Structure 1
Amino acid sequence: MNTTHHPEGQIDCTVQGAVLQICINRPAKRNGFTPKMYRELGEAYTRLDDDPALRVGVLCAAGDHFTAGLDLPTIAPLMKRGEKAVPLGLVDPLNLGMEGYRRRTKPMVVAVQGITYTLGIELMLAADIVVAADDCRFSQLEVQRGIMATGGATLRMAERAGMGNALLHLLTADVFDSAEALRLHFVQKVVPAAGLLAEAMRIAEMIAAQAPLAVVATRQNVLKGVEQGPLVAMHDFIAVQKTLSNSEDAAEGVRSFVEKRPARFTGQ
């Protein structure tokens, strides 16, 4: 990957087929997030959702580390004023459903390596599938800085790992490894660092090969079940299945099965 000498860092986007690769690029500062980077990340997530040619996102990082988290000297003034770095109206990379922000609809795969602190954990928990390098070091250390994690860690760590496991790491600000992250269901796969991006892209391309409308509907139903409960999500089954069954992609799915060939989905 290319690196940059821009002092405030940047977010680089590369299109590979139907996959948008989004790269955090400030390796000289361990990819610490400035307001500029945070804004550009929101713009990249919005691009993924708005471009019909794109089906899946892959969030990755340049250099040896995913991110050391927020660059507090540049972010703190915004926090003190109660302001957000991502402009209203864009897709929120943390997918919290906050008023004024859009929620991502398309799948996001995240590849994390090296130092993955605070915001790094929250970005990966806000995504859908996480591939971690075997050299990762994770820490949700806000309490060590006198603040609270407000990017979703207090919610999602408990949801994935249970209250006790979440508080173990949230209240001690300790550093834990990829094996612990896998045990707690914070990540889905652990791979050698050299093969990290390739594995994330492999998963993303497999998702991109499926029927786009069905992928989005499936993801949204899982998310609704987690956030609102199984009974609420279940009520969508008949209506969503009816809509999907009448799509061109569903017809193509049947044709490809009968003709014993790979399906060619269009998202229609």
Structure 2
Amino acid sequence: MTDPIAPPEGTITTERRGALLLIGINRPAKYNGFTPRMFRELGEAYSLLDDDPDLRVGVLHAFGKHFTAGLDLPTIAPLMQRGEKAIPLGNVEPTDLGTPGYRRRTKPMVVAVKGITYTLGIELMLAADIVVAADDCRFSQLEVKRGIMATGGATLRMAERAGLGNAMLHLLTGDEFGSVEALRLNFVQKVVAAGQELEAALDIAQAIAAQAPLAVVATRLSALKAVEHGPLAAMEEFIDVQAKLANSEDAKEGVRSFVERRAAKFTGR
């Protein structure tokens, strides 16, 4: 993939590949540090994924050698001081925190990370569903070194994935760790040789896109509800959700494909 030319303030690219939406972070000259424009465009890209019925899975990746060094503080600090967000209200929130005024993503997101993956980079991947990491990744949640706190989900999700002690080790020291440690902590799901991370992420996304879209979304939301609200809250929805799915055209196609011993052709209806 040829890296597109990026403006000084960076940009977020989108590329359709069938049912996949590739979302690219593009400011390699500045280690893909996020500016207000990039935040705004990222929210727009995530919203496009959720709103377009032809799209089934998102793949977040980056141009250049690194995923992102995190926030471009000189451009973001004024917003932080005013308590403002760079993403316009009404968009899908990429960190998926359920902030009032923002939508939560419903469709799956696979992330390919590489090189420097600091602060916001970790929070974006923890907010996604599946993460493929290059073996050259350098992770750090270093907000404490800058006098601020991680507010994109790291304080929530690092402890949930790795346990409180492991989370405190990295949150409170701001140390740098590699892909092996990230895999041990369940921050990433797969580690591959540098340069192969996007291809591996695309393979996973294609496998997801081949499944029944309504069932994929329902399954994802059920698992998320169990994590955030507990197993009983998720179980309460089982019968109603399953009844809706069982009456869908895709469920009927699933039965036909089983009887006819062929791959199913799902439409999302």
Could you tell me how far apart the structure 1 residues matched to 2:154 and 2:5 are? 29
Contact 1:56 1:208 in 2 (8 A): yes
Distance in structure 2 (CA, Å) of the matches to 1:5 and 1:181: 30
**Structure 1: where are the runs of 5+ without partners?**
none
User: What CA distance in whole angstroms lies between the structure 2 residues aligned with 1:263 and 1:185?
Assistant: 32
Instruction: Count matched residues.
Output: 268
| Preserved CA contact (<8 Å) 1:19 1:57 | yes
Letter in 1 for 2:77: A
1:218 correspondence with 2:219: yes
1:108-257 correspondence to structure 2 within 5 Å = 108-257=109-258
Q: Provide TM-score, normalisation by structure 1.
A: 0.99
Once residues 29 and 6 of structure 2 are traced to their aligned partners in structure 1, the CA distance between those partners, rounded to angstroms, is 8
- Measure how far apart 1:38 and its partner are: 0.5
Partner of 1:88, secondary structure, is coil
- Contact in 2 for aligned 1:3/1:26 (Cα 8 Å): no
Query: Hey, what does 2:97 align to over in structure 1?
Result: 96
How far 1:4 moved relative to its partner? 2.0
Equivalent residue of 1:99, what SS? coil
Percent of residue pairs bearing the same amino acid type:
75
Q: CA shift at 1:3, angstroms?
A: 3.2
Stretches of 4+ moved more than 3 A in 1? Answer: none
1:169 deviates by 0.1
Report SS of the residue matched to 1:105: coil
Question: In the aligned structure 1, how far is the partner of 2:93 from the partner of 2:262?
Answer: 38
Output the CA distance in 1 between the equivalents of 2:74 and 2:195: 32
Q: Does 1:19 align with 2:20?
A: yes
Q: Deviations over 1:149-189 (max 9, x none)?
A: 00000000000000000000000000000000000000000
CA distance in 1 between counterparts of 2:221 and 2:110 reads 15
Partners of 1:244 and 1:5 in 2: how far apart?
43
Q: Deviations along 1:28-78, whole A, 9 cap, x unmatched?
A: 000000000000000000000000000000000000000000000000000
Matched to 1:260, the amino acid is: R
Is this contact kept in 2: 1:141–1:173, CA < 8 A?
yes
Q: What residue in structure 1 maps to residue 85 of structure 2?
A: 84
Paired residue secondary structure (2:199) = helix
- Counterpart in 1 of 2:68? 67
Instruction: List gaps (5 residues or longer) in structure 2.
Output: none
Contact 2:59 2:110 in 1 (8 A): yes
Would the aligned equivalents of 2:66 and 2:117 in 1 still touch at CA under 8 Å?
yes
**Rounded Cα–Cα distance in structure 2 between residues aligned with 1:5 and 1:267:** 35
The answer (yes or no) to whether the contact 2:6–2:26 under 8 Å persists in 1 is no
C-alpha distance in 2 between matches for 1:28 and 1:115: 13
**Root-mean-square deviation (Å):** 0.5
Using the size of structure 2 for normalisation, the TM-score is 0.99
Q: Distance in 2 between matches of 1:5 and 1:108?
A: 24
Tell me if structure 2 keeps the 8 A contact 1:3–1:27. Answer: no
